[in-house]
Amino acid sequence: MTDNSKGLLVILSGPSGSGKDTVITHALEEMNGVKLSVSLTTRPPRPWEKEGEDYYFCTREQFQDKIAAGDVLEYAEYNGNFYGTPREPVEEWVKAGNTMILNIEVIGAEKVRARCPEAVSVFLVPPSMKVLEERLRARDTGENPEVIAGRLKIAERELGCAGQYDYIICNDDLKEAVKNLKAIIHAEHRRTKRQIGFVREVLKKC
């Protein structure tokens, strides 16, 4: 983001299949200085997923080693697999004044809120459970029906956590959802606490 504000950490959660990846991908196409954090996971890659772009795929042992080394900002178990955010890339990117988006589930989000109270959190909601189920089944991930059923079960629990978030976006119309996420990021950058340093610089030069 080409402005004078301090860095921003954005948490985006929402049930699996609500459209987090899709909305983030479109939002990133149109924003400078905004990146998506690449997580570690022990789940197997989907046919189209690339190492280091979609996830860092690893074994449980490798995952535990990263935690023990203090290299993980937060982590959680989701539907039988572990997911975690590499700490250093997030800290460095945000410290340099940029925006990092974390696509993480609700337990991890709670941990990040506790560790980084300045983080802004957004919850993406599907228009209905029926639509969510249709999207999950149509996605063609190669996952068996039990895995998808597990995701739907977790979705109900996750929807109950929406009230913990700063913002809620309904992903019915994709364009609208992308517009809303971008609007939130832009507005958060305009907050006085992120701009006041710039005002002081202007004053100094008077």
Q: Applying CB under 6 A, does 19 fall inside the site for ligand ADP?
A: yes
Q: Applying CB under 6 A, does 43 fall inside the site for ligand 5GP?
A: yes
Strands (E), 69-190: 72-78, 81-86, 99-103, 120-125, 167-170
Q: What is the DSSP letter of 139?
A: T
Among 24, 101, 104, 184, binds ligand 5GP (CB under 6 A): 104
Among the residue ranges 18-26, 65-73, 88-96, 187-195, the one whose residues contact ligand ADP (CB under 6 A): 18-26
Strands (E), the chain: 8-13, 34-36, 39-41, 55-57, 72-78, 81-86, 99-103, 120-125, 167-170
Identify which of residues 41 and 180 has a Cβ nearer to ligand 5GP in the complex.
41
Distance CA 43, CA 66 (A): 16
Buried b (16+ CB within 10 A) or exposed e, 49-73: eeeeebbbbbeeeebeebeeeeebb
77-136: which residues touch ligand ADP (CB under 6 A)? Answer: 135
| Tokens standing for residue 100 | 């990092």
Among 16, 42, 99, 180, binds ligand 5GP (CB under 6 A): 16
Q: Applying CB under 6 A, does 22 fall inside the site for ligand ADP?
A: yes
Among the residue ranges 100-108, 119-127, 167-175, 182-190, the one whose residues contact ligand 5GP (CB under 6 A): 100-108
List residues bridging with 122 in a β-sheet. Answer: 12, 167
**Least distance CB 49 / ligand 5GP (angstroms):** 8
131-170: which residues touch ligand ADP (CB under 6 A)? Answer: 135, 138-139
| Tokens standing for residue 159 | 């929807």
Distance CA 121, CA 114 (A): 12
Strands (E), 60-183: 72-78, 81-86, 99-103, 120-125, 167-170
Among 103, 121, 171, 180, binds ligand 5GP (CB under 6 A): 103
| Tokens standing for residue 83 | 């997911």
Identify which of residues 21 and 118 has a Cβ nearer to ligand ADP in the complex.
21
Among 31, 58, 76, 162, binds ligand 5GP (CB under 6 A): 76
> Which residues are at the interface with ligand 5GP (CB under 6 A)?
16, 20, 39, 43, 74-76, 78, 83-85, 103-105, 108
Binding stretches for ligand ADP (CB under 6 A): 14, 16-22, 135, 138-139, 171, 174, 177
